[in-house]
Amino acid sequence: MNKPESTGDLGAVLGHQLFRALGDPTRVRLVDLLAERCRACSVSELAECLDVDLSVVSRHLALLRAAGVLRATKTGRSVLYEIQFDPLAETLRGIADALERARDDFTTSASCAPSANDQKEGTS
């Protein structure tokens, strides 16, 4: 994943797919379960830990995989899911770096300073 060069690239790292994937409590729980187990798990293993139907768990895992959070490996008739730690950490680090650059630009840029009208509105 490429790191943005300027704050104009903040939108590039704030991809909706990752936030959509991690924005659901069941999907966050699935990631948590995989991290707790420290190994790849099948859909049925994960479904046993949740109060959700197997097909729903499968759809959640597919969405997490499409967002780059998980990797799926087919072994025989089973598909095992595991967290993609390095790519996920790199993506989150890229978001943090872009936010820090945006904050620094905001504090040093005249274009981000409040205008006279903004100051008047704040005091009335």
Position 4 scores a pLDDT of: 42
Helices (H), the chain: 10-13, 16-22, 25-37, 43-47, 54-66, 85-108, 116-123
* Torsion angles phi and psi, residue 67, rounded to 5: -85, -5
**Residue in this structure with the two tokens 């499968």, named with its chain if needed:** 58
Position 123 scores a pLDDT of: 55
> What is the rounded CA–CA span in Å between residue 46 and residue 20?
20
pLDDT < 50 regions, the chain = 1-7
Position 5 scores a pLDDT of: 46
